[in-house]
Amino acid sequence: METRILGQEKLAVSTIGLGCMGMSWSYGEAKDKNEMIALIRSAFEQGVTFFDTAEVYGPLVNEELLGEAVAPFREEIVIATKFGFKPRESDPDQSRWSAIDSRPEHIKTVVEGSLKRLRTDHIDLYYQHRVDPNVPIEDVAGAVKDLIAAGKVKHFGLSEAGVSNIRKAHAVQPVTALQSEYSMFYRELENEVLPLLEELNIGLVPFSPLGKGFLTGKINADTKFDSTDFRTTVPRFEQENIKANMAIVELVESIALQKGVTPAQAALAWLLAQKPWIVPIPGTTRPERLSENIGAAGIQFTAAEIESINKKLAGIKVHGNRYSPAQEKMIDR
């Protein structure tokens, strides 16, 4: 697989990465550990060198899973993980890390746990998971800058940050990448964020590049999600909104038919065609879907095709918010 470059400090990663969250958390029950280790190693064998996790996924166990899986080839890959959450004091079993905490002293403490769980002496890309309204972003960037100076972190990233905080953080410590939702199903970043990233030479790592599975065409109004699947709390996946949003699935399916590829591949290839510094991280727990997603790296769209697709997308209204009301409050606008 070819590589792409993120940020002014030129972090080289595979054109498509692998999001590991769903292996341990969020999309139903955690999957079999040995099967997921095999999946991660298969991804590497197929050319993936960019793996994404976070302290809060599990919590903690997803970092442990990834650390064990990549140990045989650690120096050949890029690990991205995230800080910025902690358990609420009212949650004694610490199963729901819903409190935000990006105080510098907290960052410098929790990085040690991530390093241990990932079985490494450095984190290649360390993201602030969500902007902390109680901590100046300059202080956060300064704390990560100290970790970079200490050799514990190589690159600084932000997740779901708005333009003002991106600019402020970048002035203290260059931001290598922004990780935010971006897909044919959610294009809000195109208004202000993408132009800023281009100006500052910051890469974009889209999560949910397949619209949390919606763009694959495998979800319809009759789909029943497991009670442990977070999509049960997402307005966009309410039955009426699924029905209203099928227009975008039909567009993706028509594009896929014309190109002779799958809908998932069409959606990922569309993302790759937007900018050369965009690197999606689709997640999966199935070997066949892994290979399908990786295959999108070889699909090309012409400029005319992209222009036509974007015009059609602009005419489709997406119904329903992408997060629950509580989660929406965590998004930096």
For residue range 56-77, what is the model confidence (pLDDT) as tens digits?
A: 999 999 999 999 999 999 999 9
Lowest mean pLDDT among 124-128, 229-233, 246-250, 291-295: 229-233
The pLDDT of residue 325: 83
- Over range 196-222, report the average pLDDT: 97
What's the whole-number average pLDDT of the chain?
Answer: 95
Does 295 have pLDDT greater than 60? yes
pTM for the model stands at: 0.96
Bridge pairing between strands 18-19 and 50-52: parallel
What gap in Å lies between CA 32 and CA 35, rounded to an integer? Answer: 5
- Paired tokens of 196: 């800023």
CATH of domain 3-210+271-300: 3.20.20.100
Per-residue pLDDT tens for 137-182? 999 999 999 999 999 999 999 999 999 999 999 999 999 999 999 9
- Tabulate helix, strand, coil % of the chain (nearest 5): 45, 15, 40
Under the banding of pLDDT at 50, 70 and 90, the label for residue 227 is confident
Q: Are 175 and 169 in contact (CB under 8 A)?
A: yes
pLDDT, tens digit, 9 for 90 and up, residues 262-271: 999 999 999 9
Residue among 27, 57, 126, 186 flagged as catalytic? 57
Structure tokens at 224: 């029943």
Cα–Cα distances in angstroms (integers) from residue 186 to residues 70, 236, 320, in the given order = 31, 11, 11
Q: Which tokens in the block code for residue 33?
A: 């550990």
- Concerning whether 57 is annotated as a catalytic residue, the answer is yes
* CA 108 to each of CA 23, 53, 101, 169: distance values in angstroms, whole numbers, following the listed order: 27, 18, 12, 17
Residue ranges of domains in the chain: 3-210+271-300
